[in-house]
Amino acid sequence: MAQDVLRFDAAINPYGCSPKVVEALIEFARSKQYRLYGEERAETLREELAAHLGLAPENLLVYNGTGEALVWLFLSQLLLPRARLLLPHPSYERFVTAGRRCAAEVVELPLDPQDFSLPVEQLIETGRRKKVALGLLSSPNNPSGNLIIDATSLSRLLDGLPECLWIVDEAYADYPGLSFAAQVRQQPNLVVLRTFSKAYGLAGLRVGYVAAHETLAQRLSQFQIPWAVNSMSLAAARAALEDQEYLRDVVARIRADCAQFRAALGKVPHFQTVHHSDANFFLVRLGTMEADALKVRLQERQIRVRTRPDMPHHARITCLTPAENQRLLDALKEL
C-alpha cells in the first residue's frame, strides 16, 4: 500500500513509540544478539510486567500479539471441548470470526442501539440458558469505543456465570486508564488480554500478553511453543514498558486530539451521530450515504476508514494527528 494513504481504519498510536524503544532496537541490532535464541518464555518481560501490574510472573504469558493468545484460548476452551461462546454485538469482527471457527455455537447479544451499553443481567440469563463456556468482552469495546463494563458489572458477570471463563480484551485500555488485570489473581474465571500494539506504538512488532489466574496460566502454557516472541520485539516491549512517562504524555496528547476531532466530525453534514468513545477512534452513524459508498469515495482521495457488512450505516474512524485529521475533514467537505 502506498505510504501516502491515510489509515483512519487502523487504530494505532499516530505519534509512535517512545524514543527509548528506538534506542533499544538500535542497541539490539548492533549487539547482533539476534544470532542467538532469546528467552524461551519471555521471562524478563513477564517479571517486569508482574511488577507493573501487581501480579506474579506465573500470572502472565507473552504472545506474538494478543490475536495469537486468543487463538490458543479458543482452541483450548472452545474447539477441543466443542463449547459455546457468548459475546455482545457488535464486537471486534476478527475475534468473532475466529470464534465461529472454533465454537460449537457463537451466541451474540445486541448492545443497546442508542448508547451501546451492555445488558448485564440479560447476558447472564442468556449465558445460563445456553450453557456457555466462554465469554468475550472488549474494554473499551470495538467498534463502538465505549466502556461497556466497570468493576461492578464485571464482578456480576464473574459471579453470575462462575462456570464461564470471561476474556476481557483491553487493547485500548490505556486511553481510559481502566484495567482489570490485577483481579485475575483472585478470579479463576477471568482472563485479561493486553497489547503493546496500540498506545505503546509497537503494532508491527507483535507483542501481547495474557493475565490469568495461575492455574489457568499454567494450563495455557502447555499449548505455547517456546521462543514464541522474537528477541528484538521483547527488547522493544521492555523499553516501552519502562518509559511510563512517555506513555502518559502521548495518551494525554491523543485524548486531547480526540476531543477536537470528535467536535469537528460532529459538524460533518453526512454524519448523523458521532458516538462517545473512550478509545482513540469513533463510531459514526451516517445519514443518507451508506458506509461502503463513503469508503469508496474516500479511497479515491487516498484515505481509508473502517466499515463492516453487518453495520452498513456506520463507519469507524481513528483519530490521527491534527494535520492528518484535517485532511480527512477537508475530503469530507468535498463529497
pLDDT in tens, 7-21: 999 999 999 999 999
| pLDDT, tens only, 61-75 | 999 999 898 988 888
Q: Is the peptide bond before 90 cis (omega within 30 degrees of 0)?
A: yes
**Residue 263: alpha-carbon gap to chain centroid:** 24
Give domain 6-15+245-334's CATH superfamily. Aspartate Aminotransferase, domain 1 (3.90.1150.10)
Q: pTM for the whole thing?
A: 0.94
Strand pairing report for 60-63 and 271-274: unpaired
pLDDT exceeds 90 at position 79? no
User: Can the peptide bond before residue 140 be classed as cis, meaning omega within 30 degrees of 0?
Assistant: yes
pLDDT at 3: 59
Put the strands of the sheet holding 190-195 in their side by side order: 60-63, 208-212, 190-195, 165-169, 134-138, 84-89, 105-110
Q: How far, in Å, are 16, 18, 124, 311 from residue 201 at the CA level?
A: 5, 8, 36, 28
Distance from C-alpha of 76 to C-alpha of 165, rounded to nearest angstrom: 12
Q: At what angle do helices 231-242 and 244-265 cross, to 10 degrees?
A: 80
For every residue of 102-169, DSSP letters joined together read H-SEEEEEEPPTTT----HHHHHHHHHHHT-SEEEEESS-TTT-S----HHHHHHHHHHSTTSEEEEE
What does the chain come to in residues? 335
Q: Within the chain, which residue ranges are assigned CATH 3.40.640.10?
A: 19-242
Q: Give the tens place of pLDDT for each residue, 107-150.
A: 999 999 999 999 999 999 999 999 999 999 999 999 999 999 99
- In angstroms, rounded to a whole number, what is the distance separating the alpha carbons of residues 252 and 294? 30
Asked if residue 2 has pLDDT above 60, the reply is no
- In the prediction, which pLDDT does 4 show? 84
What tens digit of pLDDT does each residue of 258-276 get? 999 999 999 999 899 999 9
What's the chain's average pLDDT? Answer: 95
- For residue 257, pLDDT beyond 70: yes
Q: How far apart are CA 19 and CA 26, in angstroms?
A: 11
Q: 210 near 217, Cβ under 8 Å? A: yes
Contact 109, 126 (CB under 8 A): yes
Overall average pLDDT of the 150-175 stretch: 97
Domain(s) labelled CATH 3.90.1150.10 in the chain stretch across 6-15+245-334
Using CA atoms, how far apart are residues 217 and 213, in angstroms rounded to an integer? 6
Query: What is the rounded distance in angstroms from the CA atom of residue 90 to the CA atom of residue 96?
Result: 9
What are phi and psi for residue 137, nearest 5 degrees?
-130, 155
For the chain, percent of residues with pLDDT exceeding 90: 90
pLDDT for position 327: 97
Decide if domain 19-242 falls under CATH 3.40.640.10: yes
Q: Give the chain's radius of gyration (CA, Å).
A: 20
C-beta separation of 5 from 304 below 8 A: yes
Cell numbers linked to 189: 474465571
Q: Does the pLDDT of residue 1 top 70, yes or no?
A: no
Mind listing the pLDDT tens digit for each residue in 96-107? Answer: 999 999 999 999
* Cβ–Cβ < 8 Å for 286, 315: yes
The strand pair at 281-286 and 271-274 is best described as antiparallel
Q: Other C-beta atoms within 10 Å of 110: how many?
A: 11
SS3 304: strand
